[in-house]
């Protein structure tokens, strides 16, 4: 593929550069693949996006190189920030007063995931600091994959809502702990118990940036229509500015966006239709994020020992998620069967995990390479397989209003358009 691209680079010299042409074509293919996979298999469109990115990465696509830097890293941060801002805007904090067992479920599944993954990797001979870091990353579910997997089959209900909330909370824990842990790596391999002060620093700075973001957006929404295109532009640009500022001052850009969304929900509790307000720009950014993650993750080196570690990590993580949700299920408002499907729906890993891995690589190239050698293949596997498992869980829970059957186009009915 590199030889073909070299010939192409000599033949075509666009004003914006060859990588722009490559990414434009790749995103067009991803959009088409997402639509076709959703139409003919009933799987969410993100499976098509990730599949195209995976094939491109395995074929040697040079538009994104690991470790991510510069524009690629900022686009990933921005995409994650937009997704987490949207996820935070779905969580009313007042709800936890009426159902505190949801917090118990969240803490139980995240804690169990950390300890079980760390223990399994330690048994398989993984270095302690590497196993600990991967276990922290494994805590995070994917608030990016799950909502997209729920939109396509029009899923709604207690399993969908509970899995979205638990995924968002687990991401909050992972972002806080991983950002603090990565910041301490240049000082030596200090244990997790020594990260309390860095955790407070990361969380405090992110809260400040998130609060400023929420206040600015609340002021804007007082004078602008929520359905206006200009409002969507203000939302996206302020999230981008907040992401850049938070990272510059030592906070976490995605964490600040997540907290900003949660605070804005408290200041302005009326329902929001985020996809309609964010519009096509947000959809494009989200699709770019999925493709970028799979392109980069596909560049990891696979071997038999790595495959064994990845499979052990994936199995331990899934069991911990299911068991943790079940442990905190008593008096939480869901049945035991629903708890099983919630745990399955939390299996995807995607952009948040990749961003956390990139933080470790930036903090310590040696330890970061060891972490990424295991984490990147796991992210690639669970971005694809996790999206399928989450979709199956939502259907098995009986919360999808759209039946799982491919839409067949017949001459009598004409073309079928995407909803």
pLDDT value at position 230?
Answer: 79
- pLDDT-derived band of residue 225, with 50, 70 and 90 as boundaries? confident
Nearest to 240 by CA among 16, 76, 360: 76
The CATH number, out of the four listed (1.10.645.10, 1.20.1530.20, 1.10.3720.10, 3.40.50.1390), of the domain defined by the range 2-396: 1.20.1530.20
How large is the average pLDDT for residues 264-280? 67
- pLDDT-derived band of residue 94, with 50, 70 and 90 as boundaries? confident
Stretch among 88-102, 153-167, 346-360, 371-385 having the lowest mean pLDDT: 88-102
* CA 164 – CA 149 distance, rounded (Å): 11
Does pLDDT of 398 surpass 60?
Answer: yes
pLDDT value at position 23?
Answer: 86
* CA geometry: angle 349, 282, 250, nearest 5 deg: 65
Stretch among 108-112, 114-118, 221-225, 253-257 having the lowest mean pLDDT: 221-225
pLDDT value at position 280?
Answer: 66
Does pLDDT of 193 surpass 60?
Answer: no
Does pLDDT of 418 surpass 70?
Answer: no
* CA 30 – CA 138 distance, rounded (Å): 27
Does pLDDT of 414 surpass 70?
Answer: no
How large is the average pLDDT for residues 27-47? 91
- pLDDT tens per residue, range 119-177: 999 999 999 999 999 999 999 998 888 888 787 778 888 888 899 999 999 999 999 99
* CA 44 – CA 391 distance, rounded (Å): 7
Nearest to 227 by CA among 264, 279, 267: 279
Does pLDDT of 5 surpass 90?
Answer: no
pLDDT value at position 410?
Answer: 44
Phi, psi of 400 (to 5 degrees): -100, 120
- The H or E element containing residue 231 is helix 229-248
Q: Name every residue whose Cβ is closer than 8 Å to that of residue 176 and which is 6 or more positions away in sequence.
A: 199, 202, 203, 206, 252, 255
Which residue blocks in 298-328 are alpha helix, DSSP H?
Answer: 304-327
pTM over 0.85: yes
**Regarding predicted confidence, which is higher, 124 or 242?**
124
Nearest to 189 by CA among 316, 370, 358, 313: 370
Does pLDDT of 413 surpass 80?
Answer: no
* CA 160 – CA 293 distance, rounded (Å): 24
Does pLDDT of 289 surpass 60?
Answer: yes
Stretch among 2-16, 39-53, 274-288, 385-399 having the lowest mean pLDDT: 2-16
Strand partners, 155: 400
User: Which of 9-23, 62-76, 304-318 is most confident?
Assistant: 304-318
Stretch among 12-26, 96-110, 313-327 having the lowest mean pLDDT: 12-26
């Amino acid at each position: 593929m590199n030889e073909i691209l070299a010939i192409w680079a000599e033949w075509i010299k666009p004003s914006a550069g060859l990588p722009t042409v490559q990414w434009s074509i790749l995103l067009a293919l991803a959009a088409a693949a997402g639509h076709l996979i959703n139409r003919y298999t009933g799987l969410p469109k993100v499976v098509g996006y990730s599949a195209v990115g995976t094939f491109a990465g395995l074929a040697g696509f040079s538009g994104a190189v690991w470790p991510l830097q510069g524009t690629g890293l900022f686009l990933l941060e921005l995409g994650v920030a937009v997704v987490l801002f949207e996820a935070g805007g779905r969580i009313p904090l007042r709800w936890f007063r009426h159902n505190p067992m949801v917090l118990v479920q969240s803490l139980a599944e995240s804690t169990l995931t950390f300890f079980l993954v760390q223990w399994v990797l330690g048994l398989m001979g993984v270095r302690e600091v590497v196993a600990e870091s991967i276990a922290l990353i494994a805590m995070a579910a994917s608030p990016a994959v799950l909502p997209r997997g729920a939109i396509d089959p029009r899923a709604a209900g207690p399993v969908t809502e509970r899995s979205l909330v638990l995924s968002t909370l687990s991401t909050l824990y992972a972002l806080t702990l991983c950002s603090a842990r990565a910041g301490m790596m240049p000082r030596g391999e200090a244990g997790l118990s020594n990260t309390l002060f860095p955790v407070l620093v990361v969380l405090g700075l992110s809260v400040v940036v998130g609060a400023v973001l929420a206040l600015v957006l609340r002021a804007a929404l007082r004078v602008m229509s929520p359905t206006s295109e200009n409002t969507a532009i203000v939302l996206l640009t302020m999230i981008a500015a907040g992401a850049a500022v938070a990272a510059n001052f030592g906070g976490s850009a995605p964490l600040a966006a997540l907290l900003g969304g949660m605070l804005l929900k408290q200041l302005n509790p009326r329902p929001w239709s985020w996809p309609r307000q964010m519009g096509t720009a947000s959809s494009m950014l989200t699709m770019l994020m999925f493709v970028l993650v799979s392109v980069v993750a596909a560049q990891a080196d696979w071997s038999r020992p790595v495959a064994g570690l990845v499979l052990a990590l994936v199995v331990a993580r899934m069991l911990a998620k299911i068991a943790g949700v079940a442990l905190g299920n008593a008096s939480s408002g869901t049945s035991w069967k629903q708890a099983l499907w919630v745990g399955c729906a939390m299996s995807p890993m995607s952009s948040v995990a990749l961003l956390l891995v990139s933080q470790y690589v930036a903090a310590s190239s040696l330890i970061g390479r060891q972490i990424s050698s295991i984490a990147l293949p796991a992210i690639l596997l669970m971005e694809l397989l996790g999206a399928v498992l989450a979709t199956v869980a939502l259907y098995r829970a009986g919360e999808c209003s759209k039946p799982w059957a491919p839409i067949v186009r017949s001459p009598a009915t004409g073309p079928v358009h995407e909803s």
